[in-house]
């Protein structure tokens, strides 16, 4: 089995010493309802984006509103007495530029990027050490034993992403029985699988999770499982966010991935949760990372 495919299919049922509780408990039926999101200062969450001109015109104002939110967030940009930046959402400025780097369909990581502190957390699964404590706490916080969260995938190198992406393209071509050009197949594959260099998994801070009832694969049905619902509600408290939401599809141009979480640290995740990013068609996680990058200059 090729490395990229192996990573995707690998089920993290036997975590190493760092994370002794891969099998963790999820919330019961009484916890299924998501808590109401507090009032967000950002635009109407239900506002349709069908009016192209309105959407385009509003992007600038939304972007500046996000910059204002970041600038006004107490633990966002912390400066020393001399005015120099000392902390960015809990990270040192240099560390922040790496961990909070916006990786999108349009934006790739620097050529040759690979994180330097990878650790094995399950057979074939690596993740950055800076993520381990919050990941362990997230998994340990699941309150019930009859549902479990499992780790499907973590870090993927550029080479592994290349293998995965090309496999997806071949799948599309095979399914189409000759009715698809290679360009069309690549475009369709890119809707659900990032191009090499554009995958958040290359950061070493993104994970794909599942639950045993779904088997060793990722499924959209994860969002309807008790484990998936618990994760959606609680991931933010442990510094993890969902970059690819159903409501944000027009913005990210990726399918919704309720199983895919990216670690940004608790401080920035708290701002995103406070701004009701989940369920928003106006803002997605990358809007904040791009705004932060502009502010850092």
Residues making contact with Zn ion (CB under 5 A): 208, 260
Residue nearest to Zn ion (CB): 260
Nearer to Zn ion, 25 or 260 (CB): 260
C-alpha to C-alpha distance for 211 and 216, rounded to whole angstroms: 8
C-alpha to C-alpha distance for 149 and 30, rounded to whole angstroms: 19
- Provide the minimum distance between the beta carbon of 283 and Zn ion in the complex, in angstroms, as a whole number: 20
- Provide the minimum distance between the beta carbon of 228 and Zn ion in the complex, in angstroms, as a whole number: 14
- Provide the minimum distance between the beta carbon of 89 and Zn ion in the complex, in angstroms, as a whole number: 22
Nearer to Zn ion, 198 or 260 (CB): 260
DSSP, collapsed to helix, strand or coil, labels residue 126 as strand
The beta strands (E) that lie in the chain are given as 77-79, 85-88, 118-122, 125-128, 150-153, 206-210, 240-241, 260-263
Angle at 115 between CA 111 and CA 117, to 5 degrees: 165
C-alpha to C-alpha distance for 22 and 13, rounded to whole angstroms: 6
Nearer to Zn ion, 243 or 265 (CB): 243
Nearer to Zn ion, 206 or 271 (CB): 206
- Provide the minimum distance between the beta carbon of 218 and Zn ion in the complex, in angstroms, as a whole number: 8
- Provide the minimum distance between the beta carbon of 208 and Zn ion in the complex, in angstroms, as a whole number: 4
Nearer to Zn ion, 208 or 287 (CB): 208
Nearer to Zn ion, 69 or 232 (CB): 232
Q: Are 249 and 256 in contact (CB under 8 A)?
A: yes
Nearer to Zn ion, 107 or 144 (CB): 107
Pairing of β 118-122 and β 206-210: unpaired
Dihedral pair phi/psi, residue 23, rounded to 5°: -85, 110
Neighbours of 248 (CB within 10 A): 24
- Cα separations (Å) of 159 from 6, 48, 167, 220? 13, 39, 13, 26
The beta strands (E) that lie in 139-200 are given as 150-153
- The tokens describing 16, both together, are 């190493």
- Provide the minimum distance between the beta carbon of 151 and Zn ion in the complex, in angstroms, as a whole number: 11
By CB atoms closer than 10 A (0-12, 13-18, 19+), residue 30 is exposed
- Provide the minimum distance between the beta carbon of 194 and Zn ion in the complex, in angstroms, as a whole number: 9
- Provide the minimum distance between the beta carbon of 244 and Zn ion in the complex, in angstroms, as a whole number: 8
Nearer to Zn ion, 151 or 272 (CB): 151
Angle at 191 between CA 186 and CA 197, to 5 degrees: 75
């Amino acid at each position: 089995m090729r490395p990229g495919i192996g990573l995707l299919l690998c089920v993290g049922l036997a975590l190493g010493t760092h994370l002794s509780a891969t099998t963790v408990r999820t919330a019961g039926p009484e916890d299924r309802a998501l808590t109401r999101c507090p009032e967000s200062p950002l635009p109407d969450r239900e506002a349709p984006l069908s009016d192209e001109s309105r959407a385009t015109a509003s992007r600038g104002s939304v972007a500046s509103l996000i910059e204002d939110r970041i600038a006004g967030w107490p633990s966002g940009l912390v400066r020393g007495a001399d005015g120099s930046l000392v902390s960015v959402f809990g990270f040192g400025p240099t560390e922040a530029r790496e961990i909070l780097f916006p990786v999108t369909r349009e934006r790739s990581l620097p050529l040759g990027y690979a994180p330097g502190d990878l650790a094995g957390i399950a057979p074939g699964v690596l993740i950055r050490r800076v993520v381990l404590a919050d990941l362990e706490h997230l998994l340990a916080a699941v309150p019930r034993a009859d549902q479990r969260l499992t780790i499907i995938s973590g870090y993927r190198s550029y080479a592994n992403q290349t293998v995965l992406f090309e496999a997806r393209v071949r799948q599309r071509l095979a399914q189409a029985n000759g009715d698809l050009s290679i360009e069309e197949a690549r475009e369709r594959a890119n809707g659900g699988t990032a191009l090499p260099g554009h995958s958040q998994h290359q950061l070493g801070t993104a994970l794909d999770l599942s639950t045993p009832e779904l088997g060793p694969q990722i499924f959209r049905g994860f969002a309807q499982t008790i484990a998936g619902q618990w994760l959606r509600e609680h991931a933010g408290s442990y510094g993890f966010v969902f970059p690819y939401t159903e409501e944000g599809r027009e913005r990210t141009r990726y399918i919704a991935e309720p199983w895919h979480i990216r670690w940004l640290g608790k401080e920035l995740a708290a701002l995103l949760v406070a701004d009701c990013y989940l369920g928003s068609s106006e803002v997605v996680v990358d809007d904040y990372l791009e705004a932060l990058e502009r502010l850092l200059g």
